[in-house]
Amino acid sequence: MAKTQNKYTYEQIIKDLSEKKYFPLYLLCGEEPYYIDKISDFIEKNVLTEEEKEMNLTVLYGKDSKIGDVLSAIRKFPINSNYQVVIVKEAQGLARSLDKLEFYAQNPPKSTIFVLCYKNGKPDGRKKYVKSFNEKGILFDSGTIYDNQVPKFVKDICKEKNIKIEEKAVNMLSEFIGTNLSAIVNEIDKLLIIKPQSEDMITADLVAKNVGISKNYNVLELMSALGERNVLLSNRIINHLSNSKESKMPQALSTLNNFFLSVFFYQQMTTKEHIPADYAIQKLGIHPFYFKNQYLPAVRNYSSDKIRNIISEIRKADGRCKGFGGTFPDEDIWKELVFRILH
């Protein structure tokens, strides 16, 4: 297969593999292991038939192998098959000796599909074998996703598994688990097992009861309390968040920041640009039910100038929780932030 581009997405790689368009080299690397595992598992399960796998599939693990084992495997020829597949998982365990793949990678045989799974980082892109993987095959960088991309990922996984999910449940999983995609998928799989057969969706109640999230004291309820300017409830929630091992402050602040940004953009769109409210809600990607119950009170209770100030305060709080300017307890950061939002 002739290569036409250097940067491939997960979706493009899976599409090509599904259409039996194979490259001789795959270097799957990066901080996020989920997509690395998905691609290598797809290759392991689908390129060869069950009969072909017996003689033509080799799976090695970096921590248990030597580079000589890898070289020996990739230099073989397929038996009664068009391809052999060699997959090296946890290849970072061989990091110091992967340079020895240089000569093979410069002219790889088309009959071998060689997959290196290099997790928790990337090999040095200046190394010759890395350049050859990029030129002759696929170099896929599985980087971590941003907090605001997590809800879409949750929805996509649920769609893939043919299960509906409440919007609030999406936000709860996103806020609680963060950007650990494998953990998200594991929690969704667990919820599918626990879910009563009579229910056709993952609900917020199901998430709250089984993922360890307090339904009444999480950042989503804080959004509502702040939007309504409910001082007592806001402080109760931040007391819980400050003392909860489950709550992750950077993710919570990111969710809060996105909430007030959406409120601000809605105000600008409807008052200055005179865009109809329904269209503005649709443009912002907010479900009408949640807009009415969570966002609309904030629209009414805060001016645009105040929201600009709130967003600035949230960003300052984010810096403090990450250690900029000193070390501050989460409780102190939350208390100061909520006070500045409400006053």
Instruction: Say which CATH architecture domain 10-141 belongs to.
Output: 3-Layer(aba) Sandwich (3.40)
CATH top-level class for 146-213? mainly alpha
Is a pLDDT exceeding 50 seen at residue 316? yes
Q: Over the stretch 209-257, which tens digit does the pLDDT of each residue have?
A: 777 666 567 788 888 889 999 998 898 888 888 876 666 788 888 889 9
Domain range summary for the chain, segments of one domain joined by +:
10-141, 146-213, 216-343
pLDDT at 133: 95
| Cα(175)–Cα(253) distance, integer angstroms | 10
Q: Which two tokens stand for residue 116?
A: 């290196």
The answer on pLDDT for 2 being more than 50 is no
* pLDDT tens digits, 250-266: 888 888 999 999 999 99
pLDDT band at 3 (very low <50, low <70, confident <90, very high): very low
User: Is the pTM here over 0.85, yes or no?
Assistant: no
Mean pLDDT of 276-289: 83
Phi-psi region of 30 (alpha: psi -120 to 50; beta: other; left: phi over 0): left
Write the single-letter amino acid at 338. Answer: V
CB atoms within 10 A of CB 136: 16
**Assigned token pair, 167:** 């919007």
Amino acid at 19: E
Averaged pLDDT of the chain? 89
What pLDDT sits at residue 246? Answer: 60
Q: Is the pLDDT of residue 23 over 50?
A: yes
Q: Is the separation of the CB atoms in 114 and 138 below 8 Å?
A: no
- Checking if the pLDDT of 317 tops 60, the result is yes
User: DSSP states of 116-181 as a string?
Assistant: EEEESB---TTSHHHHHHHHHSEEEE-PPPPGGGHHHHHHHHHHHTT-EE-HHHHHHHHHHHTT-H
* 98-107: average pLDDT: 95
DSSP string for 251-315: HHHHHHHHHHHHHHHHHIIIIIS---HHHHHHHHT--HHHIIIIIHHHHHHS-HHHHHHHHHHHH
- Give the CA diameter of the chain: 75
* Residue with the larger pLDDT of the pair 247 and 137: 137
Return the number of other C-beta atoms located less than 10 Å from residue 180's C-beta. 15
* pLDDT bucket at 131, cuts 50 / 70 / 90: very high
318-321 long-range contacts, CB within 8 A, separation 24+? 318/250, 318/253, 318/254, 318/257, 321/249, 321/250, 321/253
pLDDT of residue 213: 61
Write the CATH number of the domain with boundaries 216-343.
1.20.272.10
pLDDT given at position 158:
94
- What pLDDT sits at residue 236? 84
Of the pLDDT bands very low, low, confident and very high (cuts 50, 70, 90), residue 5 is very low
- pLDDT band per the 50, 70, 90 thresholds, residue 328: confident
- What is the token pair recorded at 295? 């966002």
Residue 104 has pLDDT above 90, yes or no: yes
CA distance 196 to 110: 49
Contacting residues for 57 by C-beta, under 8 A, at least 6 apart: 44, 48, 84, 85, 87
pLDDT at 211: 78
Across 76-80, 188-192, 271-275, the highest mean pLDDT is recorded for 76-80
**By CB neighbour count within 10 A (0-12 exposed, 13-18 middle, 19+ buried), where does 141 fall?**
middle
User: Rounded to an integer, what distance in angstroms lies between the CA atom of residue 175 and that of residue 326?
Assistant: 25
Of 147 and 110, more confident? 110
The closest alpha carbon to 260, from 219, 301, 320, 310, belongs to 310
- Residue 246: how many CB atoms within 10 A of its CB? 14
Q: 6 pLDDT exceeds 60?
A: no
Phi, psi (degrees; rounded to nearest 5) at 281 = -60, -45
For residue 184, the tally of other CB atoms under 10 A from its CB is 20
Greatest mean pLDDT range, 17-26, 202-211, 236-245: 17-26
**Mean pLDDT over residues 181-210, rounded?**
86
The Cα–Cα gap between 63 and 70 comes to: 12
| Distances from the Cα of 187 to the Cα of 5, 14, 170, 174, 210, angstroms | 36, 24, 12, 11, 9
Q: What is the pLDDT of residue 107?
A: 94
Report d(CA 138, CA 39) in Å as an integer: 11
pLDDT at 34 over 80: yes
